[in-house]
Amino acid sequence: MLLQELIALQEEEGWLPEAGLREIAERCSVPLHRLESLSTFYTHFRRSKPTGRELAVCRDVACQLAGRGNAVAALAPMLEELGVELREVSCLGRCDTAPAGCVGERPVALEDAAAVRAALEASAPEPSERPVRRWAADPYSDVGERYGALRRWAAAPEDAAAGLIDVLEQSGLRGMGGAGFPTARKWRLVAAEPAVPKYVICNADESEPGTFKDREVLHDLPHLVIEGMALAGLAVGAAKGILFIRHEYAAERARFEAELRAAYAVGALGQGLFGSGFDFEIEVFVSPGGYILGEETALLECLEDRRGEPRNKPPFPGVVGLYGQPTVINNVETLAHAAVIAQRGAEWWRGLAGDGFAGHKFMAVSGDVAEPGVVLVPFGTTLGELLDICGGMKGGVPLAAIAPGGASSLFLPGDALDVALDFDALSAAGSMLGSGAAIFVAEGRSLLEVGLDVARFFRNESCGKCVPCRVGTEKAVKLLESQPVTPALVEQLRELHGTLARTSICGLGQVALAPLLSILDRFPAGDGDPGRAG
């Protein structure tokens, strides 16, 4: 586990010194160049010694909307006084407390100067504990009742594979990480594969601006994630699960690991769980950083101690996944819902929503709203109802645009509030549900700057494997930063997007310029504000 060795070294030294790399290379019998390749690829690793305490500051769209620049300017005298280095980073997954920063593993709201100072002056800043929220999605009102679905299904493991998958199929549950692939179909594909061993991976590496709902599910409902992973293992014939979690989620990782210990203690994990013939273990793998690792094959490359560069598909992970074996990869929310459906049934799930919709959805809401955060709403809830739940627009300023599915989704105009939160409805409206992250943008904003912030994010997070993605995202940003928007420039950007969409291996390059183009197309010069256009 070379990457975990590097993470441990950095935690001890604060960076990756040459002597430490050589020691790992010798002890693990690997060439030094392999460690060099890993340590220069992943964003979490530092190859130069820090000069002192550091404040990491998010540079992406939700924090820009929340006044990141003003907050940093206000903190400047204190940072100079304390000798603190400011480092810009990609989204920290704290869009509900934007503008967001981080000191070590302790998240801070940049507008709270006292909290920032306390974190910077602490000898070893640790994540602060926060209350656990009760959710209607949790079928277990008492800690002692947890893992009821797993206990029941594990009692008849011979019926579990087909039975569990049939229940999920009847519910219509789809993946909640962005692609919306039917969960039952994915599990059935892996169950049908004869090769063993098989693996279950929970993807907890949400890193897209505006997306932080999996963070809350991990913190408040870790038992459902664990139960969902174990049920997936039971259904497909896997005995090993891995939680792949971003390193910025230290507090959430601690909550999950505490629940892991409790699950082992009550027999919900381990050898012969709940006295059955089914074995299932879960381990935690801390991501060394990078939005690209949310792509499932890049995640697999990382787990195999390589650079997190996406693989060509097919073959798909369900056939050739971790270590070449059949692998189920679902995100946090999907597995939590699967556990509850296994407990309460498909009819219950379908009855949560009306008017032809089924189920409910955790939504992360950020931007120019009065009360950003995570809410649980039935599918079919409209964007307007979601906005009302979050207190409406901050200061009562009119709404200009909405990205309903996170930074990778196409922006819709402010009059799209009647569109339902649903995979098909949002697709028909010209966007997507995506990662379940609605970003509301008020009138008076430069929508061009909002789109440019998104394009910069994808440029920064491109792994560089695809030449069109690596070069095209950089070129698009430079074009927009250097000249006014004209019809000729828009056409040039459209051609770049077409090339990226056709030739990029993964979704990053395929969507990198799409949100920006949706703004240029739907908010033309002189109509609301495309920023510098015109």
Q: Residue 283's CB: how many other CB atoms inside 10 A?
A: 10
The angle subtended at Cα 382 by Cα 437 and Cα 94, nearest 5°, is 20
Q: How far apart are CA 361 and CA 423, in angstroms?
A: 11
Residue 525, pLDDT score = 63
Structural contact between residues 449 and 480, judged by C-beta atoms closer than 8 angstroms: no
Q: Residue 439's CB: how many other CB atoms inside 10 A?
A: 30
Q: How far apart are CA 302 and CA 288, in angstroms?
A: 9
- pLDDT tens, position by position, for the chain (534 residues)? 899 999 999 989 989 999 999 999 999 999 999 999 999 999 899 999 988 889 999 999 999 999 999 999 999 999 999 999 999 999 999 999 999 999 988 999 999 999 999 999 987 777 778 899 999 999 998 777 899 999 999 998 777 888 999 999 999 999 998 888 999 999 999 999 999 999 999 999 999 999 999 999 999 999 999 999 999 999 999 999 999 999 999 999 999 999 999 999 999 999 999 999 899 999 999 999 999 999 999 999 999 999 999 999 999 999 999 999 999 999 999 999 999 999 999 999 999 998 889 999 999 999 999 999 999 999 999 999 999 999 999 999 999 999 999 999 999 999 999 999 999 999 999 999 998 999 999 999 999 999 999 999 999 999 999 999 999 999 999 999 999 999 999 999 999 999 999 999 999 999 999 999 999 999 976 444 454 433
Structural contact between residues 241 and 200, judged by C-beta atoms closer than 8 angstroms: yes
Query: What are the distances in angstroms from CA 484 to CA 243, 276, 519?
Result: 46, 67, 15
Q: How far apart are CA 55 and CA 70, in angstroms?
A: 16
Of 224, 228, 204, give the one whose Cα is nearest residue 214.
204
Q: At what angle do helices 2-13 and 32-39 cross, to 10 degrees?
A: 70
Q: Residue 99's CB: how many other CB atoms inside 10 A?
A: 25
Largest CA distance in the chain: 70
Phi, psi of 379 (to 5 degrees): -55, 140
Rg (C-alpha) for the chain, rounded Å, is: 23
Residues 6+ apart with CB under 8 A from 265: none
Is the preceding omega at residue 315 within 30 degrees of 0, hence cis? yes
Structural contact between residues 256 and 218, judged by C-beta atoms closer than 8 angstroms: yes
Q: At what angle do helices 222-236 and 250-266 cross, to 10 degrees?
A: 60
Which stretches within 237-369 are classed as H helix? 250-266, 296-303, 332-344, 346-350
For 146, the 3-state DSSP assignment is coil
Structural contact between residues 218 and 179, judged by C-beta atoms closer than 8 angstroms: no
The torsion angle over the Cα atoms of residues 308, 310, 312 and 318, rounded to 10 degrees, is 90
Give all strands (DSSP E) within 463-529, no chain letters.
none
Residue type, 340: V
What does the buried/exposed string (b/e) look like for 5-37 if buried means 16 or more CB atoms within 10 Å of the residue's CB?
bbbebbeeeeebbeebbeebbeeeeeeeeebee
Residue 527, pLDDT score = 41
In CATH, which superfamily holds the domain spanning 148-348? NADH-ubiquinone oxidoreductase 51kDa subunit (3.40.50.11540)
Q: How far apart are CA 412 and CA 430, in angstroms?
A: 7
Residue 484 corresponds to which tokens in the numbers above?
Answer: 């006014």
Residue 121 corresponds to which tokens in the numbers above?
Answer: 């002056």
Of 370, 348, 371, 368, give the one whose Cα is nearest residue 359.
348
Of 224, 495, 492, 451, give the one whose Cα is nearest residue 340.
224
Structural contact between residues 295 and 311, judged by C-beta atoms closer than 8 angstroms: no
Residue 489 corresponds to which tokens in the numbers above?
Answer: 């420039």
Q: Are strands 412-413 and 327-331 parallel, antiparallel or unpaired?
A: unpaired
For 43, the 3-state DSSP assignment is coil
Give all strands (DSSP E) within 347-461, no chain letters.
360-367, 373-378, 399-403, 412-413, 437-442
Helix (H) / strand (E) containing 88: strand 85-89
Residue type, 532: R
Architecture per CATH, domain 447-522, reads as Up-down Bundle (1.20)
- pTM of structure: 0.95
Q: Note the Cα 279 to chain centre separation in Å.
A: 29
Phi, psi of 377 (to 5 degrees): -130, 155
Q: Please state the domain extents for the chain.
A: 2-39, 54-121, 148-348, 355-442, 447-522
Residue 528, pLDDT score = 40
Of 286, 217, 250, give the one whose Cα is nearest residue 56.
250
CATH of domain 355-442: 3.10.20.600
For 107, the 3-state DSSP assignment is strand
Helix (H) / strand (E) containing 281: strand 281-287
- Which residues pair with residue 245 across a beta bridge? 204, 286
Structural contact between residues 483 and 493, judged by C-beta atoms closer than 8 angstroms: no
Q: How far apart are CA 24 and CA 13, in angstroms?
A: 14
